[in-house]
C-alpha cells in the first residue's frame, strides 16, 4: 500500500503537470477565440489528452516503472486520447454544420426555422430569431400603416385647408376692391370670414392635439368626477348643433359611479363622438348617450341613426383622416375627431370601439372605475 505522504506527493506532481498543460491550452484558446468552434474543440481534446499523458508520465517516473510498462501505459492513453480527439472533431463539425444552416436561414429573404435538428442552444436561438423576425415584421407593417396614414392625413388636410382659404381670400379681395358695397352683403361676408376662421382654428387645434397624442406628450390632469356629469356636459355641449340639424339628443346614466379622469380631455373625446353622431344622423333621427357600469367598468355608449358603416370600414373608423364614404361626411372636417378620441381614451387606460347596431352605429368607451 502506498504511504499517504507519497500519495499526496504524486497527486501534487500530476496536478502540477496538468495545470501547466491547461495554462498552455487556455492561452491557445484565447488566441483562437475568434475561430471556429470545431478548432477550439480540437484544442480542448488535445489539452485533455496531453494533461492525461503528462500526469501518467509523472506517475510512471515517480513510481519507477520500467520502460516496457511505461510504453504500454502511454500507448493505451494515447489511443484513448486519439479517440477522444476524433469525437471532438466530429462534434465540432456538427456544430459548424448546424450553425451554417442557421446562418443560411437568417440570410434568406424571410426567416424560417431550419427543418434540420439543431443542438438545444441553437434551436433556442432559432426560436428567438423567429420571434424577433415576427416582431420586426409587425413593426414594419405598423410603420407602413402609419406612413400611409400620414400621407392620407396630409392629402385630406391640404384639401380641407385649401377650400376655406380660397373662400377667405375671395371674400377679402371682394371687400378690399369694394366689389360688394351694400351693408347686408358686407355683414354676411364678415360673418362668413369669422365662421371659416373658427373652422380653421378647430382644424389646427385638432392637428396639435393629435400630434401630442402620437408623440406621447399628452399630460392628463386627473380628478374625481361622476359619470353622470360627463354625460351631461357632452349633451349640453352638442345640444345646439343637434337642434340646428333637427336631431333628437338624449342622455341617460343608469348608474353613476366616480371616475378619476382628465375631464377636459375625456370630455373632448366624448364630444367628438357625439358631434360625429349628430353630423351623420339625418334630420328627425335620434342620438342617444348612455352611461352605465358593467363588469366593474364604466361604459359610455353613443348610438346614432347614420344607417351603418360598411363592415370593411369598421376596423379603420378610428384611423387618422379616415372618412369612409363621402356621403357620410356632411360638414366634413379633417377626419381627426375619432382618432383624437381613441388617443385620449387609450391614454386613460380605456378602450373604444364601434359596431353597427339597429338603424346606425354604436360607439362605446370603456373606462376603469376609481379604486
**Tell me, what's the pLDDT at 198?**
83
Note the Cα 55 to chain centre separation in Å.
Answer: 60
User: Could you tell me the CATH number of the domain that includes residue 261?
Assistant: 3.30.565.10
Of residues 78, 91, 76, 11, the one with CA closest to residue 44: 91
pLDDT < 70 stretches in the chain: 1-2, 4, 6-7, 38, 62-65, 153, 256, 321-335, 370-371
**One domain for residues 202 and 240:** no
104-146 pLDDT, tens digit each: 888 887 788 888 888 787 888 888 888 888 888 888 888 887 7
Domain that holds residue 83: 4-107
Indicate yes or no: pTM above 0.75: no
Which residues have a Cβ under 8 Å from the Cβ of 288 and sit 6 or more positions away? 250, 251, 252, 301, 302, 303
How much is the pLDDT for 328? 40
- In angstroms, the CA 343 to CA 221 distance is 15
- Report the C-alpha gap between 303 and 311 in whole angstroms: 17
Per residue in 136-172, pLDDT (tens digit) is 888 888 888 778 777 776 777 777 777 778 888 888 8
Quote the CA–CA distance of 297 and 311 in Å, as a whole number: 27
Q: Are the beta carbons of 214 and 320 closer than 8 angstroms?
A: no
Residue partners of 231: CB distance under 8 A and separation at least 6: 251, 252, 253, 270, 289, 290, 291, 300
| Same domain? 249 vs 353 | yes
What gap in Å lies between CA 8 and CA 118, rounded to an integer?
Answer: 45
* Same domain for 348 and 298: yes
Torsion of CA 190, 329, 250, 264, to 10 degrees: -70
Q: Give the per-residue pLDDT at 103.
A: 82
| Domain closes at, from 215, 231, 253 | 215
Comparing CA positions, the residue from 144, 123, 121, 49 lying closest to residue 87 is 49
Cα 8 from Cα 31, distance rounded (Å): 34
pLDDT for 256 equals 67
Q: How far apart are CA 227 and CA 244, in angstroms?
A: 27
Residue 347 located in a structural domain: yes
Distance CA 119, CA 115 (A): 12
Element (H, E) at 168: helix 120-176
Instruction: Kindly state whether residues 101 and 37 are assigned to the same domain.
Output: yes
| Domain identity same for 285 and 302 | yes
Phi, psi of 27 (to 5 degrees): -65, -40
Q: Are strands 286-294 and 248-253 parallel, antiparallel or unpaired?
A: parallel
Q: How many CA atoms lie within 13 A of 132 on its CB side?
A: 9
Whether the CB-CB separation of 305 and 288 falls below 8 Å is answered with no
Residues 241 and 341 in one domain: yes
Are both 162 and 250 inside the same structural domain? no
Note whether 245 and 274 are same-domain residues.
yes
Residue 231 falls inside a structural domain: yes
Residue 259 within any structural domain of the chain: yes
Q: Determine, yes or no, domain membership for 129.
A: no
CATH of the domain at 208: 1.10.287.130
If asked whether residues 181 and 250 sit together in one domain, one would say no
Assess whether 331 and 246 both reside in one domain: yes
Does residue 131 sit within a domain? no
Residue 122 within any structural domain of the chain: no
Cell reading at 300: 359610455
- Out of 195, 215, 235, a domain closes at 215
Domain stops at, among 215, 231, 254: 215
Query: In this predicted structure, what is the pLDDT of residue 209?
Result: 82
Whether residues 158 and 235 share a domain: the answer is: no
Query: Which H/E stretch holds residue 270?
Result: helix 263-280
Distance CA 242, CA 304 (A): 12
Contact by Cβ (8 Å): 361, 306: yes
136 within domain boundaries: no
Tally the domains of the chain. Answer: 3
Residue 45 domain-assigned (yes or no):
yes
Instruction: Please indicate, yes or no, whether residues 193 and 244 belong to a single structural domain of this protein.
Output: no
State residue 2's pLDDT score.
Answer: 59
Burial (CB < 10 A; 0-12, 13-18, 19+), residue 291, is buried
Residues 6+ apart with CB under 8 A from 335: 153, 156, 320, 321, 322, 323, 329
pLDDT given for residue 322 in this prediction: 67
Q: What angle do CA 61, 65, 67 make, to 5 degrees?
A: 95
363 near 301, Cβ under 8 Å?
A: yes
Alpha carbons within 13 A on the beta-carbon side of 295: 3
Residue in the structure block whose three cell numbers are 358593467: 294
Amino acid at each position: 500500500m502506498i504511504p499517504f505522504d507519497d500519495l499526496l506527493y504524486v497527486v501534487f506532481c500530476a496536478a502540477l503537470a496538468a495545470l501547466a498543460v491547461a495554462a498552455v491550452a487556455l492561452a491557445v484558446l484565447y488566441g483562437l477565440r475568434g475561430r471556429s468552434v470545431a478548432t477550439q474543440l480540437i484544442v480542448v481534446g488535445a489539452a485533455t489528452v496531453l494533461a492525461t499523458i503528462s500526469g501518467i508520465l509523472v506517475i510512471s517516473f515517480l513510481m519507477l516503472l520500467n520502460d516496457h510498462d511505461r510504453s504500454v501505459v502511454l500507448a493505451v492513453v494515447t489511443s484513448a486520447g486519439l479517440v477522444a480527439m476524433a469525437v471532438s472533431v466530429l462534434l465540432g463539425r456538427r456544430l459548424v454544420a448546424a450553425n451554417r444552416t442557421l446562418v443560411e436561414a437568417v440570410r434568406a429573404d424571410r426567416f424560417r426555422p431550419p427543418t434540420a435538428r439543431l443542438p438545444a442552444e441553437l434551436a433556442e436561438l432559432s426560436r428567438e430569431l423567429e420571434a424577433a423576425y415576427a416582431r420586426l415584421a409587425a413593426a414594419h407593417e405598423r410603420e407602413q400603416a402609419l406612413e400611409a396614414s400620414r400621407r392620407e392625413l396630409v392629402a385630406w388636410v391640404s384639401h380641407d385647408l385649401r377650400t376655406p382659404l380660397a373662400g377667405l381670400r375671395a371674400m377679402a379681395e371682394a371687400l378690399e376692391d369694394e366689389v360688394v358695397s351694400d351693408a347686408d352683403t358686407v355683414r354676411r361676408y364678415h360673418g362668413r370670414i369669422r365662421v371659416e376662421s373658427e373652422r380653421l382654428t378647430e382644424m389646427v387645434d385638432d392637428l396639435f392635439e393629435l400630434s401630442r397624442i402620437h408623440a406621447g406628450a399628452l399630460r392628463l390632469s386627473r380628478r374625481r368626477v361622476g359619470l353622470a356629469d360627463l354625460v351631461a356636459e357632452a349633451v349640453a355641449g352638442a345640444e345646439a348643433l343637434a337642434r340646428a340639424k333637427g336631431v333628437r339628443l338624449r342622455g341617460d346614466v343608469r348608474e353613476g359611479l366616480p371616475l378619476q379622469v382628465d375631464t377636459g380631455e375625456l370630455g373632448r373625446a366624448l364630444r367628438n363622438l357625439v358631434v360625429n353622431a349628430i353630423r351623420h344622423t339625418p334630420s328627425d333621427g335620434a342620438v342617444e348617450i348612455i352611461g352605465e357600469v358593467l363588469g366593474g367598468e364604466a361604459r359610455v355608449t353613443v348610438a346614432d341613426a347614420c344607417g351603418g358603416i360598411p363592415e370593411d370600414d369598421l376596423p379603420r373608423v378610428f384611423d387618422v383622416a379616415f372618412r369612409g364614404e363621402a356621403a357620410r361626411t356632411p360638414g366634413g372636417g379633417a377626419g381627426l375627431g375619432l382618432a383624437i378620441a381613441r388617443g385620449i381614451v387609450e391614454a386613460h387606460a380605456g378602450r373604444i370601439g364601434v359596431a353597427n347596431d339597429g338603424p346606425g352605429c354604436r360607439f362605446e368607451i370603456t373606462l376603469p372605475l376609481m379604486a
